[in-house]
Structure 1
Amino acid sequence: MSQKLKLAGACLNQTPIDWGNNIGNIKRAIDDAKKEGVDILCLPELCITGYGCEDLFLSQWLPQTAMQKLLEIIPHTNGIAVCVGLPIRIEEKNYNTTAFIADGEIKTIYAKQKLANDGVHYEPRWFTPWPSGVIESLEIDGEQIPIGHVTVTHKDLTIGFEICEDAWQPDRPIEQLDSKVDLVLNPSASHFAFGKSIFRENVIVKESSKKFDCVYLYANLLGNEAGRMIYDGDVLIAQKGKLIGRNHRLWYHDYRLLTVEVDFENNTATENIKPHYSDRKEEFAHAAGLALFDYCRKSRSRGFVLSLSGGADSSTIATLIAFAVRTALEQRGKAGLEDKLGFKLKGDTPEVITSQLLTTAYQATKNSSEATFNSAKNLAESLGATFYNWQIDEGVDHYQSTIESAIGRKLTWEQDDITLQNIQARSRAPIIWMLANLENKLLMATSNRSEGDVGYATMDGDTSGSISPIAGVDKHFILQWLKYAESELGFDGLKHVNALTPTAELRPEDQNQTDEEDLMPYEVLMKIEREAILNGNSPKQVFEVLKSEYDPDILKGWIKKFYRLWTRNQWKRERYAPSFHFDDFNIDPRSWYRFPILSGGYREELEGL
């Protein structure tokens, strides 16, 4: 056995069918690894095509093109061994595979056995699981290559493979091998969720290296690959239960290489462990910031437009964008930032660059307060964002008078409360869309997950936008994060936002409208949501879980309101702009939780409560 080998993993920021970007990142990562004297390099799952190709995987041409790109990569592997992920089509079936290439030759191809089919994953729609223990032969470029449940011998090491979900399920492929392995390579596309990296590090990598008495090398994708999922760019290496390598997560680079020298004979290694984000609030800043940056550049937009109300939701989004600018500038420099965005920027400070990338507007009505105006203005100025403000009362009055003339009566707050609230929110959408179109920027929708639960959002109003960046997190968390961003991230302009009570400001000022009066305390809403949606409990079961924390009669009222509003507003959730996945669940019917638009509405269950 070779005494010492340099092992490396590389996270890659890929994009579905962006061949120039994807193959370029792969080649550059290989070239950098060779310069560092790396012997074996592991690249992420499906890195040639991108993981998020969805139904493109069902086409004939995509796997064919991926194979052509693999052959293009092979000449870059002289003097190194590399794992490269791609889909392979055999007899009308697709397989999720990783090719092990060494010194310019494909040595073997491992095919994934356990397909992810829960939460945000639908892999069985596109791929067939490879049967355990089966090895076949595949002709590639005139050569017969073993494919399937394979191991390979390289540099006197026996190397086994797992691809992402293989390691998360019982009866793992590595457990079914007849012989012991010295090294396990795990190319992955494991989406970001709060706290997930800790489990991945401790259980998937460290415990696996101890259980299989081996070195375990894990390499994940990086960034917002295809729109909704975020990848943290984890590269983890463990040796017989001890972590020896971990890279920076959620960085704004095309790829990041992590190298560790391992002495297989003496079971030692030169450790290379970078710090990581362990707090949810810190993770949110970095994950959301990177997701917004990637979404902007990959959609070829010139920045963001935001209707800045001065309240918590829009202020969170503004702060995240400013944080993304600050972080990207720190990590890539102005030239690197311009290169990724595809256009030139003036100045070189975060505030000056933010002024070009973030345009905000405070759209007031007669029901808006001076407090929210000052909150919005002060925050925009502190971030450097371009700030406009205008009145929309004339447009609201025009809509109202038109409908009053048509129906032959005046609208009143006593009789037409929801209608009068909604027209204000909807009147803001056309003009802010105009601004987004004029500047070729992404319009930000401002709804959060708690509002999505109960439909506390105006369709074609605050839900209007190109992307809904905070629809994956609850309002209780947002309010906590804003205080963290003020005190820990240095966004002093949030002090005005944090002093306000959340309100839609759509009713007359003398009615003292607040969100929690309209709904319920946000902390309660969050707890009901987790029990009802994440844990799938019935109204009665939710009550049993929470009854010791609140007055039972009041709690029953909150539970009934939640379920009634949830079922009534599924149609709204179907129409939300794409959102990012942050938590261990979300309510986006296109990525995590499918619920019927029409249903019995828990009628019998609520009567039983």
Structure 2
Amino acid sequence: MGRKVTVATCALNQWALDFEGNLQRILKSIEIAKNRGARYRLGPELEICGYGCWDHYYESDTLLHSLQVLAALLVPKMALANEANYRELRWFTPWSRSRHTEEYFLPRMLQDLTQQETVPFGDAVLATQDTCIGSEICEELWTPHSPHVDMGLDGVEIITNASGSHHVLRKAHARVDLVTMATTKNGGIYLLANQKGCDGDRLYYDGCALIAMNGGIFAQGSQFSLDDVEVLTATLDLEDVRSYRAEISSRNLAASRVSPYPRVKVDFALSGHEDLLQPVSEPLEWRYHRPEEEISLGPACWLWDFLRRSHQAGFLLPLSGGVDSAATACLVYSMCYQVCEAVRDGNQEVLADVQALLSQNSYIPQDPRELCGRLLTTCYMASENSSQETWHTSTRATCVHHISLNMDPAVTAILGIFRLVTGKSPLFAVHGGSSRENLALQNVQVTPLLGCCKPGWSQLSRLPSRGSLFPEVSSSLLGYLTKYDCSSADLNPVGGISKMDLRAFVQFCMELCATHRATADLCPLQEDMGMTYAELSVFGRLRKIAKMGPYSMFCKLLNVWRDTCTPRQVADKVKRFFSRYSMNRHKMTTLTPAYHAENYSPDDNRFDLRPFLYNTRWPWQFRCIEDQVGAAAASREPRRQSFRAPSPA
């Protein structure tokens, strides 16, 4: 006899410490799940208080207010995320007593609600009248020996995962593969819920809620959406799980040896009265976004959350004509496009947010170009070094409110004061100046101009009653930015995306940069960085993800680039990278909060925990590299054969 159960999982756009809003979104998801016939609903990790509370977890108020809205059983987490962007061990201690529970005394406010003094707390599973449910939380899915393995062997048929997993380009493939593989090897049903939206920090949680069974996907949530509440349901037959498992002999042998979990008996059933005509959900094929689509959607949703929750008037973006500023303009347009689509689909919350931002209660956004013209102000701050091509490219952005400024008089005035004080006239390198003069002349065009002008323009350009956020971008890995210029913006939607992915994104959106070389136009046109962006992406990944220093990076690239570079060329490139990287590392301490999209981000604030003061000569490391270059050169020299005269007969 079948045992059909309808289960629900969800993705919620929760906000740190927004207890009232978080509660309302939880209640809405519960209402939707119940209306669809679900008898079990799963929400994302820390959905009551919000995931990104950080050191607010230390405050007693956070616990108090969470308990005030708590209406569900507490489940302990045994594996905590404590790398990269996560610091869970800073605030929480994992449950380490495997297969053990203890009685947890409920606060009196919950005792009055539940009419019970204690609840079992620990490493256990729930035994209902018709099935068994186990839980793992976020990081536990990614560990080498996940709890779902032993739970499935012990007869648990439904595994739930309340997750707080942020977006990284191409990460969805890994997440979906982990879930489907878990249910392929062990059988069973897997429910994944996730946070969505910006929780108040650099991360964007990308939803992707799903329901899987026996290696197949039966419900897929959106990865990027402006909907604050999204609920997925599926009706599945528990008999399909049991018959699937019965044929896996290796699993059944392992199950006979597994240590059992404590069962917490629940007087409840997920299945209702048997209905032979009730349809069950059919499997579907997961639809993935291409990286260019992920870039167009993720940072745009992140920008929308920042804009509506900060109650600002819009964005001010200085345009350079390069890839970075063009991509940022495209992202604001993408945000406007998604807003118009959401309103067209009947999303009243998005409509109310737009009307509040523009202070127009009757306004209904329909055309993303028109909305973009209201929310985005661009300016082109030209100088004598600005090329006509750059000017033309920068003015081809989406339909926006645009300001053109010529900054030459201000630059001339500043240089005049410098000459008056010092009696010297600095020159660009192409005109015979030193590298230090060249860098100073680039900085003098930026720091006093953009750094001082942008805040004023952002406050006065559109709506005097409110300010604007002005995203800015930079090649921060090499410090290819002016401190307190690019790093003085409010947020950076492209700061964690590689230049190669950005180029593909811009071409995907509007094919602006197919022939235009990116340049800051701060000095007469020349090659500024001494390396390509493709090489820079390789250096960044090896430095952060592969955790390589100068010598190990040289050894790695010696093999990777063996067909295109000599050992001397590889050595020079690696040494140039580490010299420039370490020389400019101090700039990361002031880096604009950036959307985190790549795991080699150099963001010093919370992700890339490295020193900002180095010996930029790297004497020991570079000497090791030079020794290897010398050894490689010696090995290629023809060996001298010693001549021995024949002995007399």
Distance between the aligned counterparts of 2:563 and 2:168, measured in 1?
28
Matched, 1:412 2:378: no
Matched, 1:329 2:304: no
Distance between the aligned counterparts of 1:559 and 1:585, measured in 2?
17
Matched to 1:325, the amino acid is C
Corresponding residue of 1:180: 155
Q: Deviations over 1:137-164 (max 9, x none)?
A: 1222222111111211235111100001
Aligned-pair CA distance for 1:126: 0.7
Aligned-pair CA distance for 1:560: 0.7
Distance between the aligned counterparts of 1:472 and 1:460, measured in 2?
18
Distance between the aligned counterparts of 1:596 and 1:530, measured in 2?
18
Aligned-pair CA distance for 1:2: 7.0
Aligned-pair CA distance for 1:591: 2.7
Aligned-pair CA distance for 1:590: 2.2
Matched to 1:351, the amino acid is R
Corresponding residue of 1:241: 215
- Picking from 195, 199, 204, the partner of 2:174 is 199
- Picking from 87, 90, 105, the partner of 1:125 is 90
- Picking from 533, 556, 576, the partner of 1:522 is 533
Matched, 1:139 2:139: no
Corresponding residue of 1:459: 483
Aligned-pair CA distance for 1:113: 0.4
Distance between the aligned counterparts of 1:462 and 1:584, measured in 2?
21
SS in 1 for 2:413: helix
Corresponding residue of 1:472: 496
Distance between the aligned counterparts of 1:332 and 1:271, measured in 2?
30
Corresponding residue of 2:378: 360
Aligned-pair CA distance for 1:62: 0.6
Matched to 1:544, the amino acid is C
Corresponding residue of 1:211: 185
Q: Deviations over 1:549-569 (max 9, x none)?
A: 432222221111110111111
Corresponding residue of 2:604: 589
SS in 1 for 2:132: strand
Q: Equivalences for 1:402-551 in 2 at 5 Å?
A: 402-413=417-428, 414-415=433-434, 416-426=437-447, 427-438=449-460, 439=463, 440-448=466-474, 451-486=475-510, 494-495=511-512, 497-508=513-524, 512-515=525-528, 518-547=529-558, 548-551=562-565
Aligned-pair CA distance for 1:196: 1.3
Matched, 1:57 2:57: yes
Distance between the aligned counterparts of 2:388 and 2:349, measured in 1?
40
Contact 2:316 2:471 in 1 (8 A): no
Corresponding residue of 1:87: none
Distance between the aligned counterparts of 2:192 and 2:129, measured in 1?
19
Distance between the aligned counterparts of 1:65 and 1:337, measured in 2?
27
Contiguous gaps of at least 5 residues in structure 1 = 75-98, 100-107, 487-493
Aligned-pair CA distance for 1:134: 2.3
- Rg larger in structure: 2
Distance between the aligned counterparts of 1:211 and 1:600, measured in 2?
51
Q: Deviations over 1:18-60 (max 9, x none)?
A: 1222111101111111111111110000000001000000111
Tell which deviates more after alignment, 307-316 or 597-606. 597-606
Distance between the aligned counterparts of 1:297 and 1:211, measured in 2?
44
Matched to 1:504, the amino acid is A
Matched, 1:350 2:368: yes
Contact 1:306 1:314 in 2 (8 A): yes
Contact 2:7 2:39 in 1 (8 A): yes
Contact 2:57 2:91 in 1 (8 A): yes
The 1:276–1:252 alpha-carbon spacing in structure 2 relative to 1, beyond 3 Å, is: farther
The 1:594–1:339 alpha-carbon spacing in structure 2 relative to 1, beyond 3 Å, is: same
Corresponding residue of 1:605: 621
Distance between the aligned counterparts of 1:582 and 1:549, measured in 2?
31
Corresponding residue of 1:339: 352
The 1:67–1:273 alpha-carbon spacing in structure 2 relative to 1, beyond 3 Å, is: farther
Contact 2:138 2:164 in 1 (8 A): yes
| Greater fraction strand | 1
Aligned-pair CA distance for 1:179: 3.1
SS in 2 for 1:220: strand
Matched to 2:470, the amino acid is M
The 1:215–1:335 alpha-carbon spacing in structure 2 relative to 1, beyond 3 Å, is: closer
Contact 1:220 1:233 in 2 (8 A): yes
- Picking from 583, 596, 603, the partner of 1:568 is 583
The 1:348–1:238 alpha-carbon spacing in structure 2 relative to 1, beyond 3 Å, is: closer
RMSD: 2.0
- Picking from 73, 77, 80, the partner of 1:112 is 77
SS in 2 for 1:110: coil
Matched to 2:175, the amino acid is R
Aligned-pair CA distance for 1:338: 3.3
Q: Deviations over 1:113-148 (max 9, x none)?
A: 000011111110010001222211122222211111
Aligned-pair CA distance for 1:339: 1.6
Corresponding residue of 2:642: none
Distance between the aligned counterparts of 1:111 and 1:123, measured in 2?
13
Aligned-pair CA distance for 1:274: 7.7
SS in 1 for 2:396: helix
Matched to 1:308, the amino acid is L
Distance between the aligned counterparts of 1:282 and 1:418, measured in 2?
36
The 1:346–1:434 alpha-carbon spacing in structure 2 relative to 1, beyond 3 Å, is: farther
Contact 2:217 2:286 in 1 (8 A): no
Distance between the aligned counterparts of 1:375 and 1:124, measured in 2?
48
Tell which deviates more after alignment, 155-164 or 46-55. 155-164
Higher relative contact order (CA 8 A, sep 6+): 2
Q: Deviations over 1:374-429 (max 9, x none)?
A: 211122xxx22111101111211121111222223222331421111111122123
TM-score by length of 1: 0.87
TM-score by length of 2: 0.82
Matched, 1:279 2:290: yes
Aligned-pair CA distance for 1:63: 1.1
